[in-house]
Amino acid sequence: MKKLISAVFVAALALGAAQADAKEWKKVRVGVEGAYPPFSEVTADGKLVGFDIDIANALCEEMKVECELITQDWDGIIPALQARKYDAIIASMSITPERKEKVDFTNKYYNTPAKFVRKKGSGIEITKESMTGKAVGVQRATIHDNFVTEVYGDAVEVKRYGTQDEAYLDMVAGRVDLLLADSVAMLGGFLETEQGKDFEFVGPDFSDPKYFGEGAGIAVRKGEEDLLNMLNQAIDTIRANGKYKAIQDKYFDFDVYGS
């Protein structure tokens, strides 16, 4: 009997400790890039807009928490999360094994393939023979950077940029021969704009999970399962109640969630 009472007492203590450790989230600070249209950008009057921004606000609304958006350069976005500058990252971050070692991810909230862009009439094809000696622009510390470096690094010069916009500028200026990035980001952020009119997609879609992960997810610090669960539930909710589709249709004319 004494053993039974002791066991119940220990279990009650453990439950109480778990409840004490669980954080009641009233405000969630979200790290965003603000330089990756149409997913995230800053307008001329300083307003954050884009698919990622609308998704962040919709998730916070479902979780009934205040949402504070904090811009952060891409190559420091995970270190800033770990340093508690914000609580979650919603910045088109692909779920990869390498990143899973540093942060925890929600389920995906969209999944689109990568693709190369070339100048019209250049004749460059996506083969090592055709690409040898060419300069390929990528955003630094991305899945696209890793892919080009590993697969084509022995044949091309890899040029790395802090933002995708910087890569576009060098492409227009003729300082790179090819770009590799998310196909949807390049379509809306470059090819369909005035500066991108002389450029085109080339080659196949790239979506091998080995390089490109399992889709874009929301990153949180290791061990913050309460926030992770809240975000996953909110993603499921906006997918079910139509809010996700309304946001998607504002930016895209296809299913960005993917297979």
**What domains does the chain contain, in order, with CATH numbers?**
26-111+214-251 (3.40.190.10), 114-210 (3.40.190.10)
- 180 is written with which tokens? 């590799």
- Give the model confidence (pLDDT) of 89-113 as tens digits: 999 999 999 999 999 999 999 999 9
Identify the CA nearest to 99 among candidates 114, 83, 126, 77.
77
Average pLDDT for residues 218-236, to the nearest whole number?
A: 98
Identify the CA nearest to 79 among candidates 97, 98, 63, 102.
102
Mean pLDDT of the chain: 92
Strands 35-36 and 40-42: antiparallel
- Taking the C-alpha atoms of residue 104 and residue 99, their distance in angstroms, rounded to an integer, is 8
- Give the model confidence (pLDDT) of 47-83 as tens digits: 999 999 999 999 999 999 999 999 999 999 999 999 9
Average pLDDT for residues 40-48, to the nearest whole number?
A: 96
